[in-house]
Structures are given as structure tokens and as C-alpha cells.
Structure 1
């Protein structure tokens, strides 16, 4: 991918927020298991194990994984295809021919809206592809460009 682009730097912050939410859910589960253990088994070593695991998972989910994901995400929109790749151990590289594109949507939830980001969803007959965390203006321009290129590619066939 010669002219590949990265996702927005703000995407790192959004991934960290998602990680924080996941960690809080895990914390609630750990508190529930701890309360169950305290009332029925009265052992304290399980608290130490649960807190240690939760701290390690929190550091990974909030601190490490978003950086790795951001560094590995690349995308490129060319005249005849869209290409993107991501992954650490298993690198997934996808090429979507423009003639296969049926429609393109942009999506923006409350967290993305707060950071002025949007995700692009590209639909073909059989699959759905997503390019996350693009700046709002870039996402809208990309959506329009892909729609235009797909229309031109369809006319050529």
C-alpha cells in the first residue's frame, strides 16, 4: 500500500475510552464474584488474584492495545478498489473492487461525535466493511468519493 493513510490520532483516545468501559464492566463482574465469594466461601486470596488480573487487563486494554491497533491500521481509496489492512499477529488485508460496492454509509455515535470522528461502512452484496475513526470531513469526502467511483465503475461494466 503505497499511499496508505492512518486512522485519525483521535481514534486512539476513542479506543482507550472503549477500553475503559470494558474495564469498568470487568470491575463490576469482579466485585460481584468477590461479594459472592465473601458471603459463601469467605476466602480472601481470590480478591488478590482478581485485582491483579483486572489491573493487568486494564493496562493492556486501555494502554497497550489501542496503540498497537492504531499503528497497524492502514487504508487507501483508489480509482478501482478500496484497500485496508489491520492486525498484529494475523494481518488481514482486504481489497474491495469498486464494481462490488453497493452503498456507503457513515456512522457517528456519541463518543465519535464528541471527538469529531466518523466511521465509514462499505457494503457489497455479500459483506460489510468498516473503516473506523476518520475525521468528520474526511469521512464525508471519502463517502462521496467512493459513491462516485462506484457509480462510474458500475457504468463501465
Structure 2
């Protein structure tokens, strides 16, 4: 695994679904405000109507931005593993590079919810004493191999200290 890897393209559909869930959540908030509006009268009704419009407009803008940025997000999310470190790179406007020394890794956890399971992906969580970092979605078979590789490298690095 000496080369820079990208997330599998299946993660894009997960991100699209996530954007849709966020959109639906905001629609539910707008519906609740609309129901409150029906129960009120007077000038407060105008405030609630404006609030509903703002929520719906924000929901649509957020959905469109999230969907438009998925290709960029996928292109700029990479990871690299060698015998000394794990590097995670992500971000399109504000680049973030996380370098985790192999010797500092305490645990590697695989996590898979129903949405990731649907696309046969798993989240790889790398835990150190300082916190944790994650690789958003790796194919399940590759995630198991990645976990074993990182833990093997971590054991070897600790034995060298």
C-alpha cells in the first residue's frame, strides 16, 4: 500500500443520500413551523411565514451545494499508508492533511451502519491517545485488510521503540 489511494466511487451515492437526508430534515423543520403557524394568529403569523421561506430556501441551497461538491470531495479525499505513518488528505477549499505516526496508533475500528452496509462499505477509525481519525468509506474486504495491515505495522513499530 505504498501509493496514494482514493475512496471507492460508491461513497458518492452515500454522500448524495446524506445530502437528501439533510434536505428532508430541513423540510420537516419547515413543516413543524408551518403547523405552528396554523395554530397562531396576528403578526406572529407573518414572522412564521418568513421563517418558513428562509428554511425552505436554505434547504434548497444547502442541497444544491452539497450535491455540486460531491465530485470535488471525492477527488480530494485520499489516504496513504506506509511503515511509518498513515496520511489522510481531504478538503477542496480548505485542505486538511492528517499524519498519524504508526507507533502512536492504539486501535483500528471498523464501523458499518445500514447505509454503508447497503453499498458494502465500512468506515475505518484509527484511534490514538490524542483522538481518532477516520477514512469515510472503504470496501468491506479492503477495510479488513487495511485494519490488519495498520495493526501489524503498529505492533512492529512499538517493538522497535
Say whether residues 1:132 and 2:136 are aligned partners: yes
Aligned to 1:120, the other structure's residue is in SS state strand
Aligned to 2:110, the other structure's residue is in SS state strand
Which residue is equivalent to 1:55? 60
Q: CA deviation at 1:71?
A: 1.6
- List alignment gaps of at least 5 residues for structure 2: none
Aligned to 1:102, the other structure's residue is in SS state strand
CA contact under 8 A between 2:125 and 2:132: conserved in structure 1? yes
Match for 2:127 among 112, 120, 123? 123
- List alignment gaps of at least 5 residues for structure 1: none
CA contact under 8 A between 2:121 and 2:138: conserved in structure 1? yes
With the length of structure 2 as denominator, give the TM-score of the two structures. Answer: 0.87
With the length of structure 1 as denominator, give the TM-score of the two structures. Answer: 0.89
Q: How many pairs are equivalent? A: 155
Alpha-carbon RMSD: 1.9
Which residue is equivalent to 2:69? 65
Q: CA deviation at 1:67?
A: 2.4
Aligned to 1:90, the other structure's residue is in SS state coil
Q: Give per-residue Cα distances to partners, 1:26-74, cap 9 Å, x unaligned.
A: 000011222323443444963554433322222223x123222212101
Q: Give per-residue Cα distances to partners, 1:54-112, cap 9 Å, x unaligned.
A: 22222223x12322221210101111110011112221101111110111111111111
